């Protein structure tokens, strides 16, 4: 798929599949745990575990101050405002409707990637068509009607649009500021930074007293720590080092497809003709975006700024 080849393509598929399964886990988690506390504890635990694994494998912490700065900034953009707001918003939206707003990550990423110097994405009618087609396919897939979207509690959509823009900007920022550490150690530091700020927000909001220890809540938390964070976020970092932010950002279109397929396989939900057509449209949009981006080349003066 264009820029995504070999292990980078495998990492991209992991992100698509694993993060596609996290919508339900997040929805379950926020029914038992306060949203920011839920997200903060998840990332702090995942960051500590991943850092310990990286150190056991001989990986070292960054030695350059600018690397710590980059990882801290992107950790906050990804996990505090990006994922934290998604978790908070799912108090007011069902997972299907939420996915419509989350897929705007791909649109934001393409815009930031084209407008911020140093990348190779160029805004074009072909790229815009692919992005619009992916969004259209997601709306069909979720079965959301204009009336349902317009009458949704505005707190959810506004939080999700902000979260998507934050995640996309963090993605492009990381592409423009390469770090001299392994992708697993980088992911660990990002999770620790984002998780620490989330916990600080919890203390300011005094959410700690609302913690409810239930099997369902702990199960959702454990799943998100292992698969959503350690596996998924590490794979995302690896894919991002080998492809443009625009290309990797198309994972947001594939996540709802995975969520629907898992619902059919595990929960025996109906897989209607409408959903099959929508999934075909979304996958066509992903391929369309790949074709729109791949031929472009970064200016010679800027190539060395993009991480290998």
Per-residue pLDDT tens digits of the chain, which is 308 residues long: 567 888 999 999 999 999 988 877 887 888 888 888 889 999 999 999 999 999 999 999 999 999 999 999 999 999 999 998 988 887 777 666 677 788 888 889 988 988 888 877 787 888 888 888 888 888 887 776 666 666 666 788 888 889 999 999 999 999 999 899 998 999 999 999 999 999 999 888 877 666 677 888 889 999 999 999 999 999 999 999 888 888 898 998 888 888 788 777 876 767 778 888 888 888 888 888 877 775 444 444 334 343 44
Q: How far is CA 184 from CA 95, 132, 190, 240, in A?
A: 29, 33, 10, 12
What tokens appear for 68 in the block?
């710590």
Query: Are 101 and 158 in contact, with CB atoms under 8 Å apart?
Result: no
How far is Cα 165 from Cα 261, in angstroms, rounded to an integer? 27
Identify which of 133, 143, 160 has the alpha carbon closest to the alpha carbon of residue 285. 133
The radius of gyration of the chain's CA atoms, rounded to the nearest angstrom, is 19
CB count within 10 Å of CB 96 equals: 18
User: What would the DSSP string read from start to end of 164-195?
Assistant: HHHHHHHHHHHHHS--SS-HHHHHHHHHHHHH
């Amino acid at each position: 798929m264009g820029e995504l080849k070999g292990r980078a393509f495998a990492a991209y598929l992991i992100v698509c599949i694993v993060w596609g399964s996290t919508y339900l886990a997040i929805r379950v988690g926020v029914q038992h745990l306060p949203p920011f506390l839920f997200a903060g504890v998840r990332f702090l635990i995942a960051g500590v575990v991943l850092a310990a694994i990286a150190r056991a494998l001989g990986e070292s912490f960054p030695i350059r101050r600018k690397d710590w700065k980059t990882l801290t900034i992107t950790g906050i953009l990804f996990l505090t405002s990006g994922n934290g707001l998604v978790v908070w918003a799912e108090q007011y939206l069902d997972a299907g409707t939420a996915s419509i707003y989350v897929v705007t990550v791909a649109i934001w990423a393409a815009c930031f990637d084209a407008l911020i110097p140093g990348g190779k994405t160029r805004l074009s009618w072909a790229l815009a068509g692919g992005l619009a087609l992916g969004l259209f396919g997601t709306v069909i897939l979720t079965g959301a009607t204009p009336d349902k979207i317009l009458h949704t509690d505005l707190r959810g959509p506004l939080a999700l649009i902000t979260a998507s823009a934050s995640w996309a900007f963090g993605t492009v920022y990381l592409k423009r500021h390469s770090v001299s550490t392994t992708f697993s150690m980088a992911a660990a530091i990002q999770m620790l930074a984002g998780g620490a700020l989330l916990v600080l927000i919890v203390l300011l909001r005094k959410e700690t007293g609302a913690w409810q220890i239930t099997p369902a809540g702990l199960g959702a938390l454990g799943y998100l720590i292992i698969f959503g964070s350690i596996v998924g976020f590490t794979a995302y970092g690896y894919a991002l080092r080998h492809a443009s932010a625009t290309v990797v950002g198309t994972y947001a279109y594939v996540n709802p497809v995975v969520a629907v397929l898992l619902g059919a396989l595990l929960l025996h939900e109906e897989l209607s003709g409408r959903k099959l057509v929508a999934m075909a449209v979304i996958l066509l949009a992903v391929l369309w975006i790949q074709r729109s981006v791949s031929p472009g080349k970064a200016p010679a003066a800027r190539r060395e700024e993009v991480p290998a």
